[in-house]
Amino acid sequence: MAETNDSSSDRPVWKSEESPCVYCGQMVERSSDRCPHCRTSFSLAVRQASREVVGDWYYLDPRNPSGRGVTFETLIKMIEKGRIKADSVVRGPTTHHDWMYAAEAPRLAKYLGMCPHCFAQAKPEETFCTSCQLNMNTRPAEPRPGIPPDLVKEPFHASAYEMEKQLAGAAEGAAEAPAAVAAPTPPPRPAAPALRPEPTPSATAAAAAAAFADTTTTIADRKSRLVASAARRGRPKLWLVLILTWATLIPVALVCYLFIPSVNSGIRSMFGAGPVQPPLPVPNPPRPDDAWLQAQLAEADQAEQAKDYARAIAILRTVLAKTGDTSLQMRIEALRRRPDEERKARLDGLGKRLIMARQFVTEHQYEDALAILRSMGADDRSFLASPDIGVDVEKMEEEFRTAQARYVKRQKQEEQLAALLAQAADLREGKKLAEALSVYTQIGNSFPEDLVAKHIDMTATIQELQTQLAALAP
């Protein structure tokens, strides 16, 4: 059953004037512009920016312990700003979503300058630690391919590392359990056709007699017909015989020459060209070792995850040259297009945020506009400042602050002007025309003309007061 408020009303909490903060979950007024607990704004820009950077990495924030996840790129920006340090508590995909220090988190620790296994110095572009020789992107980790076992060092926390190995082995065993598959039942064979009955000797004799009876032509009759036929045909023509002979022999000779190697070699030997040498077989490339192949593919995957696409393409091309696996060509082409695709997506996202910041400035919501610019890290600012884009975020931020200061000053002038106009109106209503004229003159000399013109026609008012004072003069 749903929990209700402690007030006398029976309304459920979800119908009350309070609701959980969308960022930290603490109760806040529904009309609030900012959470009093985590100090985060509820404006459209901040809400949209927080959704754009949501991801599957979490960092333990005492101010907001139930905060939403962030992307790995956001963590890198927080490291650059000093918000994530080696002793910060994080969790994510490479930690199997176990909480641990950032110095122990695979793939993240090297951006803090250390190996997550032995805590030696490391660089973000490195995959394997130069000290312990283990993969710094995974936990548990495989050693560098081809490294001698005596050069591989144990991690600093060996017991925790051994527990990770046991957990990984249990997960692999569960995944490899074979499912029982029933053998398919062979289809039934078709029935053999019935054998034809063999004829009896009497039937065979009767058929032979009938066939002999049909042959009624005598030998003499056959000779006479042959002689008559030859006489009718006459002597064959020589040119026709030659044409038919060559038309038959030439195709036969070509077929023998092209498709029978012995005939081809004999003819070439007859004319002194020598026999035809058969083409040498093209040797197949030696198949590489499976361990080497798996190591190369794993290294290509790690380079792709680290967005080092040039290195991943070089590794895959080496594997393609040694294995002849043409399916790798499609992956190489996809990796070649990946930087442009990611750059376009990144530019679209940043462009939308800049447009929204400009819109907030036109609506005089300067804090929201500055919050959008402050959410852009050093990587985004350098990306936008590239020559082909040419957007200077620092200059834009300074422009917004200048506009904000000008707007605040204008608002103060509006308040002061309104107070002086009210004072002058009271003096004029109290028939203190000289004092009212003095206040109006002060207003005309102290405030911009365009601001004063929005409220009063100062020239006409002063002339009217001067006329009234002249009429009252003795």
Sign of CA dihedral 332, 311, 94, 380: negative
Three-state SS at 91 = strand
Residue 313, pLDDT above cutoff 90: yes
**What are 373-389's pLDDT values in tens digits?**
998 888 888 889 888 88
What pLDDT is stored for residue 2 in this prediction? 42
Average pLDDT taken over every residue of the chain = 80
Looking at 65-107, which runs of residues are DSSP E strands? 70, 89-91, 100-101
Bridge partners, 451 (sequence order): none
By the 8 A CB rule, do 120 and 131 touch? Answer: yes
- Comparing 141 with 172, which gets the higher pLDDT? 141
Asked whether 161 and 168 are in contact (CB, 8 A), the reply is no
**Residue 120 pLDDT exceeds 90:** yes
Sign of the CA dihedral with 302 first, then 303, 309, and 310 last? negative
Phi, psi of 41 (to 5 degrees): -75, 150
- The answer to whether residues 27 and 6 touch, using CB atoms and an 8 Å cutoff, is no
**What is the rounded CA–CA span in Å between residue 260 and residue 255?**
8
CA 67 remoteness from chain centre: 25
Strand stretches in 131-183, DSSP E: none
pLDDT of residue 46: 79
Residues near 144 by beta carbon (within 8 Å), at least 6 away in sequence:
128, 133, 134, 135, 152
C-alpha closest to that of 403 among 338, 354, 356, 358 = 358
Mean pLDDT for 445-468 is 89
For residue 387, is the peptide bond before it cis, meaning its omega torsion is within 30 degrees of 0?
Answer: no
pLDDT in tens, 151-188: 889 899 888 888 888 887 776 666 555 544 444 445 44
Per-residue pLDDT at 285 exceeds 60: no
- Residue 160: name the closest of 115, 116, 219 by CA: 116
Type of residue at 417: L
In the block, tokens 């022999």 appear at 249
Whether 313 contacts 335, CB under 8 Å: yes
| Residue that the structure tokens 């572009």 belong to | 125
Contact yes or no for 326/333 (Cβ under 8 A) = no
pLDDT of residue 277: 57
pLDDT at 63 over 50: yes
Residues 421-439, mean pLDDT to the nearest whole number: 89
Percent of the chain clearing pLDDT 90 (strictly above): 33
Please tell me the predicted confidence (pLDDT) of residue 273: 54
**Residues 322 and 285: beta-carbon distance below 8 Å:** yes
A 10 A CB-CB count for 394 gives 10
Residue whose structure tokens are 């995909």 = 93
For 405, how many CA atoms within 13 A lie in the half-sphere containing its CB?
5
What's the pLDDT at 3? 43
For 439, phi then psi, to 5°, come to -65, -45
- Does the global pTM surpass 0.75? no
Distance of CA 12 to the CA centre of its chain: 43
Q: Is omega for the bond preceding 283 within 30 degrees of 0, making it cis?
A: no
**Mean pLDDT value of segment 183-201:** 45
Tokens of 378: 């050093």
Summarize pLDDT for 216-267 with one digit per residue, the tens: 444 444 445 554 454 455 555 677 777 878 778 787 777 766 767 666 666 6
Output 120 or 67, whichever has higher pLDDT: 120
Predicted pLDDT at 345: 92
The pLDDT value given to residue 262: 65
Q: What is the 3-state secondary structure (H, E, C) of 233-266?
A: HCCCCHHHHHHHHHHHHHHHHHHHHHHCHHHHHH
Q: What is the pLDDT of residue 196?
A: 40
Is it the case that residue 460 has pLDDT exceeding 80?
Answer: yes
409 within 8 A of 112, measured Cβ to Cβ: no
d(CA 148, CA 144): 9
124 closest CA partner among 87, 81, 90, 73: 73
**Among residues 351, 267, 339, which one has the least CA distance to residue 310?**
339
